[in-house]
Amino acid sequence: MRRFAASFNLQGQNMSTDSWELSEELRLIRDAARRFMQAEVKPVEDKLPHDAYELPAETLKSLQSKAREIGLWCVRTPAEHGGAGLNLLGQAVFAEEAARCRMGAYVPGCGAFGADPPNAIFLGTPYQIEKYAVPAVDVGKKVYVAISESSGGSDPARSIRARAAKKGDRYLLNGTKLWITGADGADWGIVFARTGEQGDRGGITCFIVNGQPKGMSISPIPVIRSYAPYEIHFENVEIPEEDRLGEEGKGFAICEKWLIEGRVPYAAGTIGIAQAALELAIEWARERETFRTKLADKQAIQWMVADSDMELRAARLLTYQAAWRGDLGHDMKVDSSIAKVVATETAGRVVDRCIQIFGALGVSRELPLERWYRELRIKRIGEGPSEVHRMVLARHLLGAGSR
């Protein structure tokens, strides 16, 4: 039985400039996720190699069963399709707690809370939801989303060159996608390709690619972390018409919705990692003695800790604000861009300071800090680099004439 409601009364959130606090429901979710991570996930992860990015199958299955029991399963998936159905603010609160583990930058909770299918699939037909979404939620099938290409991954509206040509009752898909997380061994994926003329937003269509059909090949792209994104090449891959997601030529709206909403838990997860790092550094500063005094007594350390805490508070509130506006139905494009930039850049600075506080131990593999440092560097690029989001904000402030 679920212990948490699938939706929350937004009127219970006080977002005035004087005070603000989470509702009781969200505090329950936060606390439950925190307890689960400490009692169930951390002891298991502590036994794994430093750069591990997945749990042993039987261990994962056991943890997932426990997560289901407390209602923290596929939190972004609508309740009617088997998930917890958290709104964006709930997702942000949960994501921060679920990221507080060594592999948290890759998979929240080490995969214990399931793998939400991309929310775009729930815009599909009943047939598509039943065939693809429901099994993904029920048994945790692996799924990817393929947007980026070598022609400019940060500008999908103009850069998509992969094409899908209609041929009878199916499409022939050709092109190459880059930097695709989770493509290896995935059960299905969502791929964006051009079906019309090259333009800003028109002519892009969304497709579901089932398994690894004939003409599809993937290869890893080594990066600074232990797990690789992938290049996917499509050569005359046949896609049945019933696996087109949404209307032909209207795929950009689906793409944009997925990206904008996804930045909220993405940002919150980086805050969770940085908060965990700061807590480690504070504990160390209280215990470590150099030159006859504790590190905590030295002004240089005090200022690092103080700056980190202030910046994390600000990043958290900006992320919550973006989520809150989205839940109220407001346009949250600018807000999610701000949250993504501030959270990812803050997290990188905080972890860097924490490494400095630990000294040589900070870059050793005895602690998760050096792994977080590498993986958080990627977070400033993924989901749109900081420069693109600054451009989004600048255009909003300055108007269309700034283009």
Tens digits of per-residue pLDDT, 217-245? 999 999 999 899 999 999 999 999 999 99
Q: What share of the chain is helix, strand, coil (3-state, %, to 5)?
A: 50, 15, 35
**H-assigned helices in 99-177:** 126-128, 134-139, 156-159
In a domain, 126, yes or no: no
Backbone angles phi, psi at 189, to 5 degrees: -150, 165
Q: How many domains does the chain have?
A: 3
Instruction: Pick the last residue of a domain from 220, 245, 270.
Output: 245
Is 283 domain-assigned?
yes
Q: Please tell me whether residues 241 and 325 are part of one structural domain.
A: no
3-state secondary structure of 194: strand
The one-letter amino acid code at 112 reads A
Is pLDDT of 16 > 90?
A: no
Six-digit token string for 178: 């880059």
Q: How sure is the predictor about 197, in pLDDT bands with cuts at 50, 70 and 90?
A: confident
Q: What radius of gyration do the chain's Cα atoms show?
A: 22
The per-residue pLDDT for 1 is 33
Residue 197 lies in a domain: yes
CATH code for position 353: 1.20.140.10
Residues in the chain: 403
Q: How far apart are CA 37 and CA 15, in angstroms?
A: 29
Q: Please check the confidence at residue 348 and state whether its pLDDT lies above 90.
A: yes
Strands 170-180, 230-240: parallel, antiparallel or unpaired by DSSP? Answer: antiparallel
Domain that holds residue 107: 10-117
Domain contains 95: yes
Within this chain, do residues 267 and 379 fall inside the same structural domain, yes or no?
yes
N-term to C-term CA, the chain: 52
Q: Does pLDDT of 8 surpass 80?
A: no
Residues pairing with 232 in the sheet: 177, 218
Which residues in 274-337 belong to E strands, given as ranges? 289-290, 293-294
Catalytic residue positions, numbered: 383
Mean pLDDT of 149-170: 84
Q: Which of 264, 283, 265 is nearest to 369 (CA)?
A: 283
CB 296 within 8 A of CB 289: no
DSSP three-state, residue 109: helix
**Alpha carbon distance 46, 48 (integer Å):** 6
